[in-house]
Structure 1
Amino acid sequence: MAHASLDKRDPTRKPGKTTRPRVRVLLPLPFPGPFDYAVPDSLADADLRPGAIVSVPLGRRTETGVVWDNDSVLPPEFAPPPMPAVADGRLKPVAALLDLPPLPAGLRRFVDWVAAYTLSSPGMVLAMALRTTATIPTAPVLGWTVADPPPPDLRETPTRRKVLEVVSAHGPLTAAEIARRAGVGVGVVRGLADAGALRPAPMAAPPAFARPDPDHNPPVLTGQQADAAHSLRELATQGGFSVTLLEGVTGSGKTEIYMEAIAACLARGRQALVLLPEIALSSQWTGRFARRFGAEPALWHSDLGPRLRRITWRAVADGAAPVVVGARSALFLPFPDLGLIIVDEEHETAFKQEDGVTYHARDMAVVRARVAGAPVVLVSATPSLETLANVGAGRYRHLVLTARHGGATMPEVRTIDMRAHPPERGLFLSPVLTEAITAATGRGEQAMLFLNRRGYAPLTLCRTCGHRMQCPNCTAWLVEHRARQILTCHHCGYQEPVPPACPQCNAEASLTPIGPGVERITEEARATFPDLRIQVMASDTLPGPAATADAVARIARREIDLVIGTQIVAKGWHFPHLTLVGVVDADLGLGGGDLRAAERTVQLLHQVAGRAGRAEAPGQVLLQSYTPDHPVMLALVSGDFEAFMRQEAEQRRPGFWPPFGRLAALIVSADTPDAADATARALGHAAPHGEGLQVLGPAPAPLAVLRGRHRRRLLLRTRRDVAVQPLLRHWLSLVKPERGARIDVDIDPVSFL
């Protein structure tokens, strides 16, 4: 591949005619490809090879971009159409080469691949890798060094000579550090600087992150755990691309086992990436990591401030961040030597990005590992059906842990038939569950109540006229948050105060909450158990990782008797004194037309159940259900996850539903319903036809209005061996959206809202 800075020829010119040196620059903007820029004389000797981060003019502003490769590595059917060539006279010059590490070749290939697979513009994928705030060059920290030559009229004293000796031997140093080492006041240092005997000089920045020690505190593993750790260590030591599913019951030591793969990766001097589905998990995870390796990893998530984001991005690019733990966006960091990827809780839907570039971080982690030539480990107690299908086809290795670590036993799971044991009128906890909580806390143990619904009540209606409080921007009910006295939409963020009267009929004090949210369950628990110390764990009450870490620490110190939470409590926490888990509404996730509803419910409730009995005391899980004979409830009670997933697979296989077929969604959104309908109809008329494929729709989306835009959906379903991207690219080329309308593509959709 020729370096772009050496590409002297324009393919539009006739042979024999020289042209201005040019480079292709990809900008983090929604353009279909890179733009050509001229290399000015001032940068003729600069290293403008692919990957260099540059500043270029675009219209009347200046943008940061990346010198891009000349040759595509994508198969022709996936590659986007080439950008038209630009004549020499119209080329604008590159403005500057920025003092930043270049984007590695593997990351550039990954950007191109993700853009082609998701049918996104490569610039928008690059935006996730470039992160403008992260790539702003950081000004160097200045210290003091000895001026050469020294000022001829310098008046020397013993204290000044001591300062000059320290700076000569150890500079550049800060004024405070010079004064400390010389045993003088800072005023002496400042006096030498004012006299011209010291001059400012950039200091070597201290390492941003301590280097983890792979031999610091290795765990004692036996049996299945030791065998699995040995297998993963070998994979990380040998290197090369591979995919391994590490499946183990909750509490089986999966984290300790895959940390041994990280240790082997570190021993080879390579970098490791760990993806977690929730930022809140990072606090407890980093504590376990620090105990194992004697240092904390680098963190990468949306809550990082701009300064720490710049430091972390640069440390990753320089190889100074050996281990990064982060959310899905960490996949796009500029690792120069990525040797291992871990995807913890690989089944989690939180790994799917729904806005902007829609991608699934688990699947893209496999691609990133293939590009890097590194092993990837997918970790779960309840693997996704897609991952299990790849195991069954022989594409993924499989390691299974059937027992909890350290002798702990799996909890007993029972259903509470709410038809036979209903709660009192106006309440939501069955007497069977409240008695179990009283018994567990009476023994000095901890209990947990789980309800995957934020707020106080999911619906508020008027008792007089039946009016329901609805979001003005979305097809969704407003959720009451009683602690803040507001009604809010969990889709667009709209808020309004709880009105004193019905806005429809003006009846006062007639608005009534319908159904429970976690706030309402907390209110009931405080009334039922007035002596218990209660901790609520939900995204509304724990605004960030620090608050989550504090709550987890209080639970671990046994300062809490009863934990009440949403799905944040299901994710990987280790509470050794928690023995009882009660699921308030086990049927909650089974409604609607989502083909993955049963699978998701089993995975979520199995995770929640796994918080119970993780130490010596046995655990108990009680599921409040109005359908105790549902296959999901029977699977949870029996613990036979494998049989349940086999049944799920057999239901999906005949209709070529994932993972036995491919899905791609087209979501039309527009300012008006007419524009949405017209664009959706045009897509329907132009829909592809053929053996092994079917187009469903157009139809109104379940959220027919979202953030003020009217939405319609079409769904393309094909056999597994059909490449959907070329089909979609041709299909979209046939339709021009109505004014104000937009067509979004979601390859392998997870949500159908």
Structure 2
Amino acid sequence: MSSGDLFGDGGTGDDRAPDLLHPGIPDRDGLFPEGALVGVLTTQPLDRLLDYKSPPGGCAPGDHVEVPLGPRKVHGVVWGPGAGGFDPAKVRAVSRVLDITPMREEMHQFLGRAADYTLTPMPAMLRLATRAPGLTDAPAARKIYRPGATRPERMTDARRRVLEVLDDHGGLAFTLGELSEMAGVTSSVVKGLVKLGAVAEEDAPRDLPYPRLDPGLPGVALSAAQAAGAESLRQAMRAGGYGTTMLKGVTGSGKTEVYLEAVAECLAQGRQALVLLPEIALSAEFLTRVEARFGARPAEWHSGVTTTERRRCWKMVAEGGAQLVVGARSALFLPFRDLGLIVVDEEHDTSYKQEDGVLYNARDMAVLRAACCSARVILASATPSLETWANAEAGKYDRVELGARFGRSVLPDMDAIDMRDEDLAAGHWISPTLASAIGARIEAGEQSLLFLNRRGYAPVTICRACGHQIGCDHCDARMVEHRFQKRLVCHQCGESKPVPEKCPSCDVEGKLAPVGPGVERMAEEVAAAFPEARVAVLSSDLFSSARALKETIAAIAAGGADIIIGTQLVAKGHNFPLLTLVGVIDADLGLQGSDLRAAERTFQLMRQVAGRAGRAERPGAALLQTFQPEHPVIRAILGGDEEAFWRAEAETRRQAGVPPYGRMAGIILSSPDVQEVFDLGAAMARQDGPLRRIGAQVFGPAPAPIARIRGRHRVRLLVKAEKQAPLQAALAEWIAQFRRGANLRLAVDIDPQSFF
């Protein structure tokens, strides 16, 4: 789709005066001369390109510019020739061309194709691609702070925090304000450390290139299977051009070391590489491994790095001063100068799906980005998504498999505990069988992990006098008790309030009771059952910073806990050498509900968390507490025949005509007025001609499972079509029929991953 197709006729919005001003034509150097008409895409929520006159000195396609828009000046990118047809007197000039590396044509193409696929307005896509603080500021020198050469003789708590921040970030540069804020100290503490030589203060340009990585350094010794896999990936890199490889390996098989060899080949070719991780918490250990492999730390891009480093990363990626970026999903929209490889680690992880703002799946966008710049993609996982597995089965993706763990470790034995046969007291969730296994591990000096994918103390608080369940004031969701914080929290909007002493419905005191377990309640039960054991709880809401989480994980890995209690956070990439037992408290939890991916996700999560056990030399075991040991998913998890599970799941999806063998799109309507969303939803369901013409079905409207979030009522429609149907074009035509009020929002979710 061309920019004209996407934006219509462009222009300033003033009355047309045909032929009075002609579109700009670039000269032989690709430059629009001064006064030529150019079309500018801004980051503002407009539905078209805006026409401006090229400034003195001219401008070129891809230039980042500052343009006047009403009384303001806003950031934009020269997208091409202007549309023309306006009164010349009303067309304003570009204010200035910014000192930013111009957008490359492949990035232009990627943003356009991503917008077409996700049905996202182009200004929103441009905001994703320019989301770096201070990007439009003029270049200037600044003072930066790094670790110094000495340690102070007198160490105070404030000084220690400053030095820990510097150490934890691998020598990255901070401004005075950033370092003071992250350490929780005043600037005078930092300046005092500068005088003592413990912190170095330097004058430096705002954004410096990153240290060079050396792909020629030797990596770790690989097993025969790893070496074969690494060579296959290196050969794919040498072949050049676009291609995607599914790297499937059991937990502990050393997938990271294998794909780092592909990164080395990419860097040796002088191209850039991007590694996506599903969780920021995973980055610390991974960065250490990268530094050991290549002799320097890569660039980082995620919400945990400072604004200074984010701007530096953006600019250095564009200028070629960053060879390797390790980041979260939004790193896909960085302006790489020559991107040669994208690795999506744990590619099945649901956190790769952006669920607000621009709705996209980073796994799919990685493949699209690579196709636009002739790069390779590696999709790595022990339990790949069915979409990736199906593409590998169909021959669209290459396939590299690692079937055994690295070194002397072996996969854990897996078994089910039939909870129907367990004598379990009311208000308890650890079966006698599991408790006995935990006790044996404690006596042997080994660690046990209890997995429950529920944060907080209890998911529901109910009044035993009137039956009222305490819900959020702004959402149709029950509030979760977080006893460590002494508060009730809504996991939809984040609203929290103290735990009341009396029922808010009937005013009776002393009758509020928690129902069901969360990880905090499990910790309470563990402390009572094993009073001498050291217990650690790993849940994202219990840590104020990534540094605190990293320190806790490191302490556990060093043997600082006997029993670990965790949510799905523990299933992602952590290595605890002493951990030999995994107990899944409620293996049936993910099988509830009507989510078409429930079986797949339960299978993935159980296999991933079980894989935490026995990763060193001691053998491991995984015990799954279940009331449905005969369930096909539970049997597949225990049987270990992953290919059989994927084939059965694929056949079920194929017969139902759902992804990856059909297409789906979710339409989410929301408004403070419940009647407004239902009226529009009903009208859309009736007037579905564009969808019927491609053979698509519309289901709904129906209230979303959580029908109100942050005071907005939510209604969903679901569209289902055949695999080859031109769904996006039909959706765009369908939606364009309807006018929407100012307070009504409509979001389109192509390939929805959740149905809440």
- Give the TM-score taking structure 2 as reference length: 0.86
Distance between the aligned counterparts of 1:715 and 1:584, measured in 2?
34
Structure 2 partner of 1:163: none
Structure 1 partner of 2:32: none
3-state SS of 2:497 partner: strand
- 1:675–1:739 contact (8 Å) kept in structure 2: no
Structure 2 partner of 1:39: 54
- 2:248–2:381 contact (8 Å) kept in structure 1: yes
Distance between the aligned counterparts of 1:645 and 1:12, measured in 2?
61
- 1:100–1:137 contact (8 Å) kept in structure 2: no
Structure 2 partner of 1:350: 351
User: Residues 678-689 of structure 1: matches in 2 within 5 Å?
Assistant: 678-687=679-688, 688-689=691-692
Structure 2 partner of 1:50: 61
Distance between the aligned counterparts of 1:15 and 1:133, measured in 2?
39
- 2:23–2:37 contact (8 Å) kept in structure 1: no
Distance between the aligned counterparts of 2:658 and 2:23, measured in 1?
56
| CA-to-aligned-CA distance 1:674-723 (integer Å, 9 cap, x gap) | 10111101111111314632111111111111111111111111110111
3-state SS of 1:235 partner: helix
Distance between the aligned counterparts of 1:63 and 1:581, measured in 2?
54
Structure 2 partner of 1:114: 114
Distance between the aligned counterparts of 2:607 and 2:51, measured in 1?
53
Structure 1 partner of 2:577: 576
Distance between the aligned counterparts of 1:639 and 1:403, measured in 2?
13
2:538 aligned with 1:537, yes or no? Answer: yes
Structure 2 partner of 1:700: 703
Distance between the aligned counterparts of 2:22 and 2:278, measured in 1?
55
- 1:281–1:545 contact (8 Å) kept in structure 2: no
User: Residues 177-192 of structure 1: matches in 2 within 5 Å?
Assistant: none
3-state SS of 2:550 partner: helix
Distance between the aligned counterparts of 1:142 and 1:494, measured in 2?
39
Structure 2 residue identity aligned to 1:115: A
Structure 2 partner of 1:311: 312
Distance between the aligned counterparts of 2:291 and 2:738, measured in 1?
54
Over 3 Å counting, the alpha-carbon distance change for 1:674 and 1:3 in structure 2 is closer
Structure 2 partner of 1:254: 255
Distance between the aligned counterparts of 1:279 and 1:87, measured in 2?
52
Structure 2 partner of 1:91: 91
Structure 1 partner of 2:162: none
- 1:54–1:98 contact (8 Å) kept in structure 2: yes
User: Residues 285-684 of structure 1: matches in 2 within 5 Å?
Assistant: 285-684=286-685
Over 3 Å counting, the alpha-carbon distance change for 1:581 and 1:661 in structure 2 is same
- 1:574–1:611 contact (8 Å) kept in structure 2: yes
| CA-to-aligned-CA distance 1:83-121 (integer Å, 9 cap, x gap) | 885442221211111112222222121111111111111
3-state SS of 2:126 partner: helix
Distance between the aligned counterparts of 2:607 and 2:212, measured in 1?
36
Distance between the aligned counterparts of 1:333 and 1:720, measured in 2?
31
- 2:21–2:85 contact (8 Å) kept in structure 1: no
**Matched positions, count:** 676
| CA-to-aligned-CA distance 1:533-584 (integer Å, 9 cap, x gap) | 2221111122332122211211221122221111110001122221111111
Over 3 Å counting, the alpha-carbon distance change for 1:138 and 1:617 in structure 2 is farther
Distance between the aligned counterparts of 2:307 and 2:207, measured in 1?
19
What is the CA-CA distance between 1:422 and the residue it aligns to? 4.0
Structure 2 residue identity aligned to 1:27: T
- 2:538–2:570 contact (8 Å) kept in structure 1: yes
Question: Structure 2: where are the runs of 5+ without partners?
Answer: 5-10, 25-34, 144-201
Structure 2 partner of 1:29: 44
3-state SS of 2:80 partner: coil
3-state SS of 2:407 partner: helix
Over 3 Å counting, the alpha-carbon distance change for 1:558 and 1:16 in structure 2 is closer
Over 3 Å counting, the alpha-carbon distance change for 1:607 and 1:320 in structure 2 is same
2:80 aligned with 1:100, yes or no? Answer: no
Question: Structure 1: where are the runs of 5+ without partners?
Answer: 72-82, 144-200
Worse overlay, 651-660 or 730-739: 730-739
Over 3 Å counting, the alpha-carbon distance change for 1:667 and 1:16 in structure 2 is closer
| CA-to-aligned-CA distance 1:655-679 (integer Å, 9 cap, x gap) | 2111000001111111111101111
Structure 1 partner of 2:169: none
Distance between the aligned counterparts of 2:622 and 2:488, measured in 1?
33
Give the aligned CA root-mean-square deviation in angstroms.
Answer: 2.3
Distance between the aligned counterparts of 1:458 and 1:134, measured in 2?
42
Distance between the aligned counterparts of 2:468 and 2:240, measured in 1?
62
Distance between the aligned counterparts of 1:13 and 1:736, measured in 2?
30
3-state SS of 1:224 partner: helix
Select 1:740's aligned residue among 719, 726, 743.
743
Distance between the aligned counterparts of 2:233 and 2:722, measured in 1?
34
| CA-to-aligned-CA distance 1:150-200 (integer Å, 9 cap, x gap) | xxxxxxxxxxxxxxxxxxxxxxxxxxxxxxxxxxxxxxxxxxxxxxxxxxx
User: Residues 187-198 of structure 1: matches in 2 within 5 Å?
Assistant: none
Identity %: 48
Larger CA Rg, structure 1 vs 2: 1
Structure 2 partner of 1:64: 75
Over 3 Å counting, the alpha-carbon distance change for 1:134 and 1:523 in structure 2 is farther
- Give the TM-score taking structure 1 as reference length: 0.87
3-state SS of 2:542 partner: coil
Distance between the aligned counterparts of 1:33 and 1:271, measured in 2?
33
Over 3 Å counting, the alpha-carbon distance change for 1:90 and 1:652 in structure 2 is same
3-state SS of 1:654 partner: helix
- 1:421–1:431 contact (8 Å) kept in structure 2: yes
